[in-house]
Chains A and B, each alone.
Chain A
Amino acid sequence: MSKFEYAPAPESASVVDIDSSYGLFIDGEFVEGSGAAMKTVNPATEEVLADVAVADEADVDRAVAAARRAQEQVWGPMPGAERAKYLFRIARLLAERSREFAVLETLDNGKPIRESRDVDVPTAAAHFFYYAGWADKLSYAGYGSEPRPHGVAGQVIPWNFPLLMLAWKIAPALATGNTVVLKPAETTPLTALLFADLLRQAELPPGVVNIITGAGPTGSALVRHAGVDKVAFTGSTAVGKQIAKQIAGTRKHATLELGGKAANIVFDDAPVDQAIEGIVNGIYFNQGQVCCAGSRLLVQESIAEEVTERLKGRLSTLRVGDPMDKNTDVGAINSAAQLERITTLTQAGQAEGATRWTSDCPLPETGYWFAPTVFTDVSSAHRIAREEIFGPVLSVLTFRTPAEAIAKANTIPYGLSAGIWTEKGSRILAMADAMRAGVVWANTFNRFDPTSPFGGYKESGYGREGGRHGLAPYLVEGTVR
């Protein structure tokens, strides 16, 4: 019993009404799905939250047809300034209903309410606000004087940031005049379905956004559908490769935001206390279920022991448990399957000879939990240094020289993000140049902003989301001569 025991500070679940079952949102209304319904559970309690419809190929067909109609008859012809006002409305409605969305996100995903409240929902609203302003300024974006939309965008999003990824997908698509069929992840469909209700309030024309639920086969049917002009996917590199194969030889365009295994590089002249925070934020944010997580700590050998000891001290203050408690730092793993994957890879880490340290924080008895874990004595050849674990597990490697750090950071098929910690300005710039990664955080980590492009090099995928660059994947360059 510590002196200052924080009493439970639970957010109230009563701010959101969860229906017992949900249909598909097609052409502006909820309809029955043709497949056998699935269940979505609260990963912190293993309680079923709702039955959710599953879309089969015929449902996908209906959704794409609705999107096509809406694109050709309503959304495409609409002046950009009018599209902009719809998007501004959506941004405002999200902000107004932010508490509801945050609570639902935490219930369905397992992430701490602190994160859904302070990061996911406000950043999602900001994303809509940012792209709203682009809708009537596309000729200034650098993609020709009269850029055009592709048409219908088929979008498949992951479970780690359900609402935020929805915003990253839908906002630029709508701003550019595309219409959308979006499939949320099978384990986290609820905020997308609540978003459909928000669209009702926004009075968005029917068919402009269609939300279909289901698992892999539904997503695959959407990606393969001949009526889809543009595919946007965020998820694993393995599935990303399948999608790239599926659309090969077609005229579909794709944005793929895939896996990562970021190096977070700490030099001996780093601002150590902030670096520790950056390491913690890098790998324990969202239970490490982040594609750009700083899962490989590369620390200069001369301070390696000190940094790892400081890190363990800091980790011992992380509060793991009830995601609805406002003081929880690390919540539940999203699913039993993901917990299994994390467990398997950490066992491999031990089997391959790395040294495991796991926080001795107490874990709840029901639900899916994994305590913050650090592996030291890790070599680049170990699976835990190469494979994406997607959990609160950090692999610590050491280096002696900048060249060695660069080589270790880059020698991996991924290239999504990287971190650099040093107080020396010229070294920051040289290291940033050397990183083969789409996002480089220097003396910070895991920062996101609607204006800032995000996306990977190499097998972390292609295309950018966010910022001016995030418009490009949704536009066909066009010029009036």
Chain B
Amino acid sequence: MSSTTTPRLDVRKTYKLFVGGKFPRSESGRTYEITTAEGTFAANAALASRKDARDAVRAARAAQPGWAGATAYNRGQVLYRVAELLEGRRAQFVGDVAAGEGVSAKKAEELVSAAIDRWVWYAGWTDKVAQVAGNANPVAGPYFNLSVPEPTGVVAVLAPQASSLLGLVSVLAPVLVSGNSVVVLSSQDRPLPAVTLSEVLATSDVPGGVVNVLTGRTAEVAPHLAAHMDVNAIDLAGALGADGITWGELEADAAENLKRVRRPAGETEGDWLDTQSLEAILAFTETKTVWHPKGM
């Protein structure tokens, strides 16, 4: 038996896109090399094209009404379930984050824990947002009048470039709370936690198409998402630190169909440890106000 003398060669994962609940390669057939923070080879990731972005938007549009139409309680359970699965995979995330971000194992543990806790925090918001952000309006007349937040629709999310998991979760989870569907463009150089997260989502109860994950070059794909007329909103967090594109350019592209734009909080990426907020949820909601007469 040679097993005691020859080290076992590990089985590597093929990193793919996540679109409509499936894991396709880029339609362009392209990949690009991902390295660790130390510069060693980590994996080849799919290099998404504008057509992949188009397909992802289509999948997100198709899935959005079902996700928004689920009860808030149900969305909360589904999102909480994602946190359970993240916990189960924490060792893999810790490894990915440590290797990709070049942080210590201890720091990576802290970041992964924060990401999981953040997911839990947002999961608990689903059935409270309308109570906190909606209200009855005492109009001066015999009318019932109520304002409630609703999801904006299909949201493109440019995930932060540096914080590959906590940053990603910080911009993805709040968008899902109210019932939006999402096309995420991962960190360009640190996409692996995003792909692993999509594997978690695929085995969770999140319906296919509600979250779609693209990996690739921000400057290549983001303008197509920003300009896409069937995308209702965009989070530009990942424009900070991206080569060859600025958030201002993307915001200008987004004006063509008056997308709701969430700008980066500053001009450089922060550490994401203290960034969970109701505002992050409400940035991708619309307030609907309904009137009805009251009379016998």
B252 pairs with A453, CB closer than 8 A? no
Interface size on B, residues (CB 8 A): 36
**Is B249 a contact partner of A452 (Cβ separation < 8 A)?**
no
Q: Please give, as numbers and ranges, the residues of chain B lying within 8 Å of A428 by CB-CB distance.
A: 292
Q: Which of B135, B139, B263, B289 contacts A440 (CB 8 A)?
A: B289
Asked if B276 is an interface residue, CB under 8 A from chain A, the answer is no
Q: For the complex, give the distance between the alpha carbons of A273 and B65 in Å.
A: 35
Interface 1/0 per residue, B125-144 and A, CB below 8 Å: 00000001101011111010
B67 to chain A, nearest CB (A): 14
Residues from chain A with Cβ under 8 Å of B203 in the complex: none
Give the complex CA separation of A245 and B257 in angstroms: 11
With A452-B291, A458-B232 in contact, do A467 and B258 touch (Cβ < 8 Å)? Answer: no
User: In whole Å, how far is A56's beta carbon from the nearest beta carbon of chain B?
Assistant: 26
Query: Which stretch (A7-15, A39-47, A236-244) binds chain B?
Result: A236-244
Known: A126-B140, A241-B255, A469-B287. A442 touches B248 (CB 8 A): no
Q: On chain A, which size bracket covers the interface?
A: 35 or more
Contacts of B290 in A (CB 8 A): 432, 439-442
Chain B proximity mask over A341-383: 1 for CB below 8 Å, otherwise 0: 0000000000000000000000000000000000000000000
**Bound state CA distance, A217 and B268, in angstroms?**
34
Q: Is the CB of B257 within 8 A of A452?
A: no
Contacts of B258 in A (CB 8 A): 237, 240-241, 244, 256, 258, 458-459, 461-462
A477 CB-CB contact with B under 8 Å: yes
Surface stretch bound by B, among A83-91, A103-111, A311-319, A443-451: A443-451
* A437: interface (CB < 8 Å): yes
* A320–chain B nearest beta-carbon distance, Å: 28
A440 touches B147 (CB 8 A): no
B248, B254, B286, B291 pick with most chain A CB within 10 angstroms: B291
A462 and B260 form a contact (CB under 8 A) = yes
For residues 238 through 254 of chain A, which have their beta carbon under 8 Å from a beta carbon of chain B? Answer: 240-241, 244-245, 248-251
B287 touches A438 (CB 8 A): yes
Are the C-beta atoms of B255 and A444 separated by less than 8 Å?
no
Closest to A470 in B: B287
Q: How far is the CA of A457 from the CA of B133 in the complex (A)?
A: 17
18 pairs from A and B in contact (CB 8 Å cutoff): A248-B248, A248-B249, A249-B251, A249-B252, A250-B248, A439-B288, A440-B288, A440-B291, A447-B291, A449-B137, A449-B145, A451-B140, A452-B137, A453-B289, A458-B257, A462-B258, A467-B137, A468-B137
